[in-house]
Structure 1
């Protein structure tokens, strides 16, 4: 029986355009995917501050302004459909499960969401625990981030479901015995959770 549900944020609740960062940064100058990924990982694990992240990009994209880089960085973020908010609110009100958010993210993205998603605080309040990678210094798919959550809340993996659109992340959680749903954001919606994963509830 599932007692705890761990949710990813991007492409589970808020829609993303994942290729947008590479596309928009490339319009500002020559930059490779490995260069972006290296900065991204450091930023998402809190090893770089926001100013250090922007400076790292400006070192490569020497003609780009701070604002241009930030706009390119935030281009990944799209809309947050309100029916998904209603879903998590109803789930929270039911008190049937411990609800945890576990997201690879960073200060710029969260600041953008706070500014553009009017119900962000309501959304956050639906969760018993809310973990952002840049705040805890851990990042998916490293198994250490799942071990941290399991140990922090004394969770039984067999009673825990983790939902994420990235297979690398769900594969990592699965190794620890956690039930997983690798959702496809193009064809599946979090609101259909109990239909799609009815076999484990």
Structure 2
């Protein structure tokens, strides 16, 4: 029996244009991610680099860019937040049938953009729906590493067998499933989180 619901953020609640950042970076002359760049990206997502150091790294690698253009490219992935999804999670929170947690790989640039785009009131309304609001750059862990799921289970005294994790990336749900957590690898554009109880009705 499912008692706990852990939600991803991007392409679960907020819509993403995943190719957008690569497309915008290509316009700036950045056509490929080197191993060092991938390492920096992951470090930044874990909060192991400041935003200033992260942007400086790319600016030093590609001096023909501007810092503003790099930031805009990095945030190009972020789109809209449909109101019906907010209403869905607010109703779940109101019903109090499940413990609700959010677990997202994100970074300071993205969250700052979201807070500005949504406004403080809407952002706080959304965050208040969750018992825990875990962002990778704040807890220094990232999916799909097993230790991030172990951390969430341990910190909240959750049983994997009573927990469902919803994420749009198969690598992330596969990792969680290896720990005995029930998963829904949601396919954006084909499935929607508001259909949770129809799509995964066998678990409820």
Q: After superposition, give the CA deviation of every residue in 1:67-99 in whole Å (9 maximum; x if it has no partner).
A: 101000000000000000000000000000110
1:9-158 pair list within 5 angstroms: 9-34=9-34, 36-118=37-119, 119-158=122-161
Task: Note the alpha carbon deviations across 1:99-149, whole angstroms, 9 max, x for none.
Answer: 000000000100000011131110000000000000000000000000000
Aligned equivalent of 2:169: 166
Distance 2:106 2:182 in 1: 23
CA contact (8 A) 1:22 1:33 kept: no
Equivalent in 186, 190, 193 of residue 189 of structure 2: 186
TM-score of the superposed pair, with normalisation by structure 1 = 0.97
The offset of 1:29, in angstroms, is 1.7
Helix, strand or coil at the partner of 2:184:
strand
Q: Is the 8 A contact 1:31 1:61 kept in 2?
A: no
Q: CA deviation at 1:30?
A: 3.2
Segments of 4+ in structure 1 off by > 4 A?
Answer: none
2:4 corresponds to 1:4: yes
Report how far residue 37 of structure 1 moved.
2.8
Instruction: Please tell me the root mean square deviation across aligned C-alpha atoms, in Å.
Output: 1.0
Count how many residue pairs are aligned between Structure 1 and Structure 2.
201
